[in-house]
Amino acid sequence: MGFAGESPIFGPLLLSAQLALVTTILLLIIGMPLAWWLSQTQSRFKPVAQAIVAMPIVLPPTVLGFYLLILLGPNGAIGSWWVQVTGSALTFSFLGLVIASCVYSLPFAVQPLQSAFEALPRQTLEFARTQGASKIDAFFSVAVPMSRRGFVGAAVLSFAHTLGEFGVVLMVGGNIPGETRVISIAIYDSVETLDFSSAHQMSLLLLAFAFVVLLSMFVINRRWSLR
């Protein structure tokens, strides 16, 4: 990522895209079993799990960032272990940002998936089972394809939400060009230094991107529901 620091706009943009992409992929992988469990369980711990997953929506990003900084820092539980194993710190690194983003955007992946799974007709899955599919088989061959709208929603929201994060990144990642200087930080920086022209360009880019992504999501959903 060394070259990324050279251009004031391109570098942060690329870094943001990379961060959002990696986070989205990880969140779909983590979110899928978690959302499935939440949609199927009758455990009395379900409300507790739901509350924990939803917390990042309510908490100020600075609070989340503060705790993550403590946890991931060289003296924190995870951070100190990471330093022992790899010799480098998690905070103020791209990997640290990925972990923080996964926590921060978790509800945006889990909730669309969970509602999609909950909307599945129970008998259709039972039918798959009586047709010879194991639980895992029925999940991947029936539940997942029938919930594709949920997956699109989860991917779009995770990606967009990660792209727009600011507070958590600032707390955990700081502002290191090419490593943690994502586009939202770069915009803030430009404004601080009165470089309104760069701020304009980057903001407009994000604005257009957000619109195009949301528009295509709604168009896809409309197509699928009309089929």
Residues found near other proteins in the complex (CB under 8 A): 121, 123-124, 126-135, 137-138, 141-142, 145-146, 148, 227
Q: DSSP 3-state assignment of 44?
A: coil
Q: Which two tokens stand for residue 116?
A: 């999609």
Asked if residue 20 lies in contact with residue 159, where contact means CB atoms within 8 angstroms, the answer is yes
Nearest approach in angstroms of CB 148 to other proteins is: 8
Give CA separation, 149 vs 116, 123, 154, in Å.
7, 20, 8
Nearest approach in angstroms of CB 39 to other proteins is: 17
In the complex with other proteins, which residue's Cβ is closer, 75 or 227? 227
Nearest approach in angstroms of CB 168 to other proteins is: 37
In the complex with other proteins, which residue's Cβ is closer, 134 or 193? 134
Nearest approach in angstroms of CB 116 to other proteins is: 13
Nearest approach in angstroms of CB 46 to other proteins is: 17
In the complex with other proteins, which residue's Cβ is closer, 85 or 122? 122
In the complex with other proteins, which residue's Cβ is closer, 138 or 163? 138
Give CA separation, 168 vs 60, 73, 106, 175, in Å.
9, 14, 13, 12
Q: Rounded to an integer, what distance in angstroms lies between the CA atom of residue 54 and that of residue 51?
A: 5
Q: Which two tokens stand for residue 122?
A: 């129970």
Q: Which two tokens stand for residue 22?
A: 């990696």
Nearest approach in angstroms of CB 128 to other proteins is: 7
Output phi, psi for 3, to 5 deg. -70, -20
In the complex with other proteins, which residue's Cβ is closer, 6 or 126? 126
Give CA separation, 117 vs 35, 107, 133, 144, 209, in Å.
8, 15, 18, 8, 28
In the complex with other proteins, which residue's Cβ is closer, 176 or 220? 220
C-beta atoms surrounding 36 within 10 Å? 17
